Structure 1
Amino acid sequence: MAPPIPLLAVRGSDGIQLIQGPPKFTNHDSFQKDSSKNCKVSTFSRDGKLFGWCNGEVTNIVNSADSTLLHSFDLPKVVCLEISPKNTILATWQTYTTGKDGTAGVPNLQLYDLKNGKCVKSFIQKKMQNWSPCWSVDEKICARNVNNEVHFFEDNSFDTIANKLHLQKVTLANKSFFKADRVTMLWNSKATAVLVTASTDVDKTGASYYGEQTLHYIAVNGESAVVQLPKNGPIYDVVWNKNSTEFCAVYGFMPAKATVFNLKCDPIFDFGTGPRNAAFYSPQGHILVLAGFGNLRGQMEVWDIKNYKLISKPTASDATYFAWCPNGENIVTATCSPRLRVGNGYKIWHYTGSILHKYDVPDNTELWQVSWQPFTDGIFPAKPISYQPVPGEKTAEESKPAQAYRPPALRNKPVTSYKLQLYLIYTQRNSKKKNYAFFCI
C-alpha cells in the first residue's frame, strides 16, 4: 500500500487552505478554502486525522481526509488550539481580560468533548505561556501547571483533582545552577534524559552582550553532566535525535560550531564552523540539517548522519521557518509575517537540494503560518539516502548580485534613474572662518 500524501496547511491574510504535499502540490480536493482575513490560529491533531482553525467568527474541527465538518464552536476570539493525543478533548485559549472596574474576568481556557461538542471544564489561565494541559499518550492522565503546583486529572474527568504535587517536592534527579537567571529544558523522545540550557542576562566577564549560557545533561537515573562546548559564545540551538541516544548543539561566536554528542556527553562528530544557528533532525533521525536563518543568509547543510557525509548545501534566503515533512524526504522553508512583511511565500525542497515547489503570496498579502500534517511513528520508514539531486524547479537557489538598498514600498517596482547634481557652496561668515556646505538635487 502506497504511503499517504502529507498535507500542508497554509494560513495568511487571505485565509487558510490545505495543500497536498509531494508530488502533487495542488489544493486538497475536499477542503474548501476559508477566505476569512482573520484566521488567527490553526492546528492538526497529533496523528494528523483532525484539523482545526479559528476564522474570527467560529472555531471549526474537520476530518483531515475528507474535510467533513465535525464541530463548529461559537468561539470567535480563540488564539490557541490543542487537541488531546487520542482526539478526545479540544483545548482552546482566549486572551484573558478583566472588567473595567477591575473585577475578575471569566474563564478563558475551555475544554470540549469532541464526541458531543460540549464544554466539560473551564479554567482561568492568564498567561499564554504553557497555557495548554498536558496529556499522557493514552489520555489516562492530564496535568496542568497552576502556580507552583501540578494538578493531575484522570480519565479526562476535570471536576476532581486526582492529585497535587508541589514542584519543589518532586525529584528524580537534580542539578544546581549557580549562574542562571532562566533555563530551557528539552526532553528526548523516550523521556529518559533532559538537556537544560542555563542562561544569565548579563555576562559579568564582558565577553558577550547576550549574557552567558551553559548546557547540562540530566538523566532520570540520576546521572548528570556539564556538556563541554569547546568554543565560547552563545548556544543557538540544541536538538535530540529521534533515537534518543545523541544530540546536536550549535554554539560559539560566529562562525558557529556544531557538534553531535552521545549520552556520556562525549563528542561523536564535529562539523567545524560555519554561518549557522539552528539544527533539525529528520523525523527518522537519519539526516541532519544545519542552517543559518534570521540575520544569516539562509545557508543549509544537509548531512547523512550514519556516514557523516555532506549531501547538499542549498540556500533559503530570508527564510523565517523550517520544518521536515513526516516522510523524511522533503522540507518546507517559508518567509512569514510579522518577522518579514515583504517577500512572503514558501518553498518545498528535496533534501538533495532541489526545489520541488515554490509559492509567492500575491502583493499586499501576508503569509502567517505553514505546517505539515503529522503522522504516527512507523507510517514513513527511513529510505536509503541519495546524493544525486532529484528533478525539480531548480537544483539550487541562484545567488543574486548585491543590489542597493530599496525601501519596502519601492520594491518590485521599476527602477527609475535620476540625474544627481552636487553643489559645493562656499560661505564666509567672517574673515577668519570659512564654511563649506554640500547639497544635491
Structure 2
Amino acid sequence: MSKSTELFCRFPKSVELIQDFEDITPSPKALAECRAALYSSNGRFFAYTQPDEVVILDTSSQAKLYHKIDMPEVFDINFSPMGTYLCLWCKPVQLNKENGTWNDNLKIFNVNTKSIISEWSVRHQNGWKPQFTSTETLFSRSVNNREIQFFEIDPQGSSLININQPTYKYKIDDSKVTFQNFQISPGKNPSLAVFIPEKSGKPASVLIYNIPNFNQPICSKNFFKAERCQLKWNSLGTALLALSSTDHDTSNKSYYGETNLYLLGIAGSYDSRIDLQREGPIHDITWSPTAREFAVSYGYMPSETTFFDARGNAIHSLPTAARNTILYSPQAKFVLVAGFGNLQGTVDVYDRQNKFSKVVTFEASNTSVCEWSPCGRFILTATTSPRLRVDNGLKVWHASGKLIFLKEFPELYSIGWKPQDLTLFSALRTLEPAPEAHVSTTEYTAKRDAVASAAAKKPAGAYRPPHARGNGTSSAQSTTLYQKELENSMKGVTPPPPPGFARNGGAARQRTIPGAAPVAEKESKAAAKNRKKRESKKGKEQSPGPANGPANGPAATTGPAATVGTSQTQESAATNSAPSDENPSSGGAVIGGVASLEEKKIRSLLKKLRAIEQLKMKQAGGETLEDTQVIKISKEDEIRNELQTLGWNE
C-alpha cells in the first residue's frame, strides 16, 4: 500500500501469478494520510486508518467496503488471531491534570457486531496491543508491568466487558519487581510466558504458566546478562525461544552488546541454553512451521546459520556467509537465508526436504521487506520508505530465482501478501517450473544481464597503483622509492645535490653513494658568491691581530690555548660546512626525494662531531667537563673513520 497517496490491492486469479492479475483501488479512494493498514490473519478483512475514521474492507472476493468506524486520530490497529476483533490505539489526551485522568484511547471493536466491547486508557504506544488466545476466548492486558489481567469474551461477542473486573489475573508478589513483557502461546491449551529482567544483583528469569493456573510455573529459566528478552513460541505452543540481550558487551568485543539464546519446553518441562559455536551477536531466530525445529543466524560476519531440533540439538549448519535473515516457506519445504539491512542483499534458497540442497542464489539489493507467498512458490522483496526513499518498489521472484514481476512506486510505505489458508493450495513436493516473466521485468533483467556480462568480460589483473597506470609500463616494474633508488645507483645516475649543500674550505663537496660514479657539479653563481664570503671571513680570522686584542679572543692568545683555539676554529668551519639535520635542504644526495640510508647515517655522525667540537671549545675555555663528555671527545677519531668508510671526505 502507498501511504497518504493511494491504497490498492493486488489479487492473483491463479496460483501461478503469470499475467492474470488486476489492481483494485477501494472506493471511495483513500486520499488522506494513512498511518496504519493491515490484513486480518485469515485474510478476510483489510483495515486502514484515515484522520477521522477507520475503514474496513471485505476482501473475500473484491475489496468492497464493509464498515467505517467514525473515530478520529487512530494511530495504530491490530486484528485478533481469527479476525473477529479489531483493536484501535488512539491519541492519548489528558482530561484532568489534577487527578491525572486520561481518555480511554484503547478500544476493542467487534467486527461482526460492529460494536465496541471494551475500552481503557493506555498512554504509551509501545506494547499497547492486547493479546488474545488463539481461540479468542480470552484477551489480556498489562497493568503497570506488575499485573496481567485476563478477560473472558462472550462467544457471541456482543456484551460489553467491564475492564475493572478481570476473570483471571497474574500478579508479581514482590512490589519491587516488574516484568518487562509477556507472550501468550498459540494452541488450544494456551500458556503464558513472562520475562522479568535482572535487578539489584538478582538474575533475570523467564517463567511459563498454564492459563489460568498461576500459582506455580510449569517451566522456568534464570540467567544473567539480560536487559531485554524476545519471546518466540513455536506454532503449537509447546516450546519457547528466549533471546536475551544487553546493550553492553562485557568482553568489549561487540558494538551491538551481548546476546544469548535459551530454549524452554512445555512437554517434559526442560530448559537449556543453546550452545553456539561462534562468538558474536545473534542476528535472527525462527521456528519451522512444523514446530519440530528452529534456525539461528549468529556470529561476526560472515555469520553462520545452524538448524536445531526441538530439543536444542544441532542438526545442520550452512557454510559461513554474510547473512542475517532466515525465512521458512509456509509448508516448510524451502528455507530462505539472506543478508539484508546493511548487507548487499544476497538471497540463498535451500530445499529443506532434500538434505538442505541449495536451489538458487540471487541478488535482491536494498530489500526492506521479504515474505514467502502463502502457496510457498514465490518470494516478495520490496524497498519501502522511510527506510529508503529511492528505488521504492516490489519484486516477485519464483522460488527457482527467476524474477517474474516488478513494479516501482514514487513512495512505498508497506506491502504484504494476503494471508490465506494452506489447504487452498496443492501440496508442494516438487517445485514446478517458473512461469513466464511479466513484461515489467524485461528492462530490469536486460540491464542486470548487461552488467553481469560486462563484469565477466573485464580482464582481471594484478593491482597497479594510480601513478603506474596508463604509462605502458609493466606491472612487475619497480614502483617503490627503494627500488627506484636501487635502479638509479645501478645505472650510475646520481641526482645533483640541492643548493646549500655542505661545503668545506669554499669548495662544494659532492656526496657520493658507494658503488656509484661521481657526477661533476657546476658551481652556481650564488654558491660562488657564498664561497668567496666564507674565504674572506676565514682569512681575517687566521691573520695575526694586535697583541692582547680583546676582539680576537682565544685565537690571538699564545701557547697551547692558542693552538687549541686555532684548531677549534678550523674544526668549527669544517663542522659548519656539514649538512644540518634541522635543514633538510642542506643534506647529501637525495634519490627520489628521500635521503638514502648512508646519507642519514652520515648526518647523524656529523651531528656527533659538532657536539664534540662544542665540548672541546668548553674544555679550551677552562670549563670542567663531566666524565660522559670526556668519553664523547675520545670517540672523535672513531667517528671520523666511520665517516670515511661511508664515503664522506672533508
Secondary structure at 1:306's aligned position in 2?
helix
State the Cα deviation string for residues 21-71 of structure 1 (Å, max 9, x = none).
323564345744734141111111111111111122321112102333221
2:106 is equivalent to residue 109 of structure 1: yes
2:448 is equivalent to residue 398 of structure 1: yes
Q: Which residue of 1 aligns with 2:2?
A: 11
* TM alignment of 1:206-221, pairs within 5 A: 206-221=252-267
> Greater CA deviation, 89-98 or 388-397?
388-397
* TM alignment of 1:17-28, pairs within 5 A: 17-21=8-12, 22-24=17-19, 26-28=21-23
Aligned counterparts of 1:33 and 1:306: Cα–Cα separation in 2? 47
- Report deviation, 1:344: 0.7
| Residue pair 1:49, 1:63 contacting (<8 A) in 2 also | yes
2:293 to 234, 237, 246: 246
Instruction: Give the partner amino acid of 1:180.
Output: A
Q: Which residue of 2 aligns with 1:266?
A: 313
The verdict on how the C-alpha distance between 1:113 and 1:353 changes in structure 2, with shifts beyond 3 A counting, is same
Aligned counterparts of 1:390 and 1:167: Cα–Cα separation in 2? 57
| Residue pair 2:87, 2:107 contacting (<8 A) in 1 also | yes
2:420 is equivalent to residue 375 of structure 1: yes
* TM alignment of 1:146-225, pairs within 5 A: 146=143, 147-156=145-154, 158-159=161-162, 160-166=165-171, 171-221=217-267, 222-225=269-272
Aligned counterparts of 1:229 and 1:387: Cα–Cα separation in 2? 36
Q: Which residue of 1 aligns with 2:67?
A: 71
2:176 is equivalent to residue 141 of structure 1: no
State the Cα deviation string for residues 129-165 of structure 1 (Å, max 9, x = none).
3322222232211222222211111124521411111
State the Cα deviation string for residues 325-364 of structure 1 (Å, max 9, x = none).
1111111111011111111111111111111111111xxx
Q: Which residue of 1 aligns with 2:622?
A: none
Aligned counterparts of 1:70 and 1:37: Cα–Cα separation in 2? 19
Percent identity of paired positions between Structure 1 and Structure 2: 28
- Report deviation, 1:99: 5.5
Superposed CA RMSD in Å reads: 2.6
Secondary structure at 1:373's aligned position in 2?
coil
| Residue pair 2:96, 2:102 contacting (<8 A) in 1 also | no
The verdict on how the C-alpha distance between 1:114 and 1:390 changes in structure 2, with shifts beyond 3 A counting, is closer
| Residue pair 1:17, 1:33 contacting (<8 A) in 2 also | no
State the Cα deviation string for residues 158-189 of structure 1 (Å, max 9, x = none).
21411111257552211111221111111100
Q: Which residue of 2 aligns with 1:412?
A: none
The structure with the larger Rg is 2
| Residue pair 1:15, 1:38 contacting (<8 A) in 2 also | no
| Residue pair 1:60, 1:69 contacting (<8 A) in 2 also | yes
- Report deviation, 1:381: 4.4
Aligned counterparts of 2:82 and 2:370: Cα–Cα separation in 1? 27
2:57 is equivalent to residue 54 of structure 1: no
Unaligned stretches of 5+ residues in structure 1 = 1-9, 403-431, 434-441
Aligned counterparts of 2:389 and 2:38: Cα–Cα separation in 1? 23
The verdict on how the C-alpha distance between 1:144 and 1:24 changes in structure 2, with shifts beyond 3 A counting, is farther
- Report deviation, 1:400: 8.2
Which structure features the higher share of strand residues?
1
- Report deviation, 1:297: 0.8
What TM-score do the two structures reach when normalised by structure 2?
A: 0.57
Secondary structure at 1:357's aligned position in 2?
strand
What TM-score do the two structures reach when normalised by structure 1?
A: 0.83
Secondary structure at 1:391's aligned position in 2?
coil
Aligned counterparts of 1:340 and 1:134: Cα–Cα separation in 2? 32
Secondary structure at 1:16's aligned position in 2?
coil
Aligned counterparts of 1:278 and 1:268: Cα–Cα separation in 2? 19
- Report deviation, 1:107: 1.2
2:384 is equivalent to residue 384 of structure 1: no
Which structure features the higher share of helix residues?
2
Aligned counterparts of 1:275 and 1:33: Cα–Cα separation in 2? 46
2:404 is equivalent to residue 356 of structure 1: yes
| Residue pair 2:377, 2:431 contacting (<8 A) in 1 also | no
Count matched residues. 393
| Residue pair 2:150, 2:168 contacting (<8 A) in 1 also | yes
2:87 is equivalent to residue 96 of structure 1: no
Aligned counterparts of 2:172 and 2:418: Cα–Cα separation in 1? 35
